[in-house]
Chains A and B, each alone.
Chain A
């Protein structure tokens, strides 16, 4: 989606290295979701961010939402082969009841070399 840009499109890292994936919006976000997808399989919910400056962690994955609520980063520390997959961000920009659906970025393909 042009409203939500993910970078990089693909990433190859050596096992044990740290990495960062970015998700950038052209306007202020209301909610930002991170998902992980194994090749050919469904999307697994990782984290949801809503407040400017918010940061959440799950195991070795940390997601942050900037103060302006227009950019989120997903950081993986000491990557492992189990981290490989496609990472997608999903977002919506307003909340008026249930009127607004999630829009997804195009994804970042992560490969972790053993």
Chain B
């Protein structure tokens, strides 16, 4: 089944403790992206990647890091999480940044709580 897999689905952590949210897609997509979703603010892009070793900042990159060493994986790293990073996070992938005929394929989301 074609899908984007995020792990974990739920995570509660403490301020300052480094964490990684994994994202993997099995569709050979070149474009991958991370979003956070907050009430009233909609989806905001954190980072995106056009291909292996090619990453760039989105609208809200502060406090986050990403890497794209393999085409299928695009992990999101929070080096020192803070409470304002409590949010619902989505990974998405697509054949191209423009979305094509089928838009982006989204993962199921990771609900992160930083206390």
Q: Which residues of A contact B (CB under 8 A)?
A: 1, 30-31, 33, 35, 40-45, 48, 88, 90, 92, 95, 97-102, 104-107
How extensive is the interface on chain B, given as a class?
Answer: 20 to 34
Q: Is B67 an interface residue when CB atoms closer than 8 A count as contact?
A: no
Task: Tell me whether B99 and A41 are in contact (CB under 8 A).
Answer: no
A47: shortest Cβ distance to chain B, in Å? 9
Chain B 8-46 per-residue mask, 1 if CB under 8 angstroms from chain A, else 0: 000000000000000000000011010000001111010
Q: Is B74 an interface residue when CB atoms closer than 8 A count as contact?
A: no
13 contacts between A and B (CB under 8 A): A1-B42, A31-B98, A33-B103, A42-B107, A42-B109, A43-B106, A98-B31, A101-B33, A101-B48, A102-B98, A102-B99, A106-B40, A106-B41
Task: Tell me whether B105 and A45 are in contact (CB under 8 A).
Answer: yes
B77: shortest Cβ distance to chain A, in Å? 21
Task: Tell me whether A104 and B98 are in contact (CB under 8 A).
Answer: no
Q: A95 — which chain B residues lie within 8 A by C-beta? A: 98
A-B pairs with beta carbons under 8 A, tally: 68
Q: Which residues of B contact A (CB under 8 A)?
A: 4, 30-31, 33, 40-43, 45, 48, 50, 88, 90, 92, 96-99, 101-109, 111
User: Complex formed: what's the CA distance from A52 to B58 in Å?
Assistant: 30
- From the candidates A33, A88, A99, name the one contacting B99 in the complex (CB within 8 A): A33
